[in-house]
Amino acid sequence: MEIKFTTGPSPLGSVLVAATAKGVCAVSLRESDEGTEEYLRARFPKAELARDDVALKRALDTVRERIAGRKLDSALELDLQGTDFQREVWNQLLAIPAGSTRSYLDVAQAINRPKATRAVAQACGANPVAVVVPCHRVVMSDGSIGGYSGLPGVKKALLVVEGGWVPDRS
């Protein structure tokens, strides 16, 4: 399998976008571009990697627009690689509209597995295409923001820019 990738600056740090011939397979917000290829090799150990800034310009621009709070529901072709359960969760996340949130329990119930809230949280954490599959729109049942496997503060920043989170002003 060949994976092309590119990186670029965004309002929340450096963003990596990688794609197979089928579609985007990885999006990651990072502190810098350093270690990009190592990250991809760890995630896709059998893939042939090639940087291609031209071929992935549109995908990178789309991701950056989403990060900036614009074009939040613009479509990208995806190549989601994960278990059947993970893909089921990720497909449910794609149905959460921008500016809205769901709890891990809501997602578990939507896939008819109401006792699988921890597994849903793990699937969110394993999401290979952050921002595009909006795992940041999933919060705790008590309304607190919960965890995010990316850079600190990114989940809250994404929710704020989408209008799905009002910061505590106290």
DSSP assignment of the chain equals -EEEEEEEEETTEEEEEEE-SSSEEEEEEESSSTTHHHHHHHHSTTPEEEE-TTTTHHHHHHHHHHHTTSSTT----B---S-HHHHHHHHHHHTSPTT--EEHHHHHHHTT-TT-HHHHHHHHHT-SBTTTS-GGGEE-TTS-----SSSTTHHHHHHHHHTS------
In 10 A of CB 87, how many CB atoms? 14
- The CATH number assigned to the domain with range 2-67 reads 3.30.160.70
Tell me, what's the pLDDT at 165? 65
Residues 6 or more apart from 143 whose CB is under 8 A from it?
none
Where are the domains positioned within the chain?
Answer: 2-67, 84-162
Domains 2-67 and 84-162 share a fold: no
Mean pLDDT in each 10-residue stretch from start to end of the chain (170 residues)? Answer: 96 94 95 92 96 97 91 84 96 92 96 96 94 92 79 84 64
Tell me, what's the pLDDT at 155? 87
- Distance in angstroms (rounded) separating the CA atoms of residues 89 and 37: 27
Q: Which two tokens stand for residue 70?
A: 């614009």
Tell me, what's the pLDDT at 60? 97
Cβ 159 vs Cβ 101: under 8 Å: yes
In the set 25, 27, 133, 135, the catalytic residue is: 135
Tell me which residue has tokens 């921002």: 131
Predicted TM-score (pTM) of this structure: 0.90
Tell me, what's the pLDDT at 98? 87
Catalytic annotation present for 25 = no
User: Which class in CATH covers the domain with range 84-162?
Assistant: mainly alpha
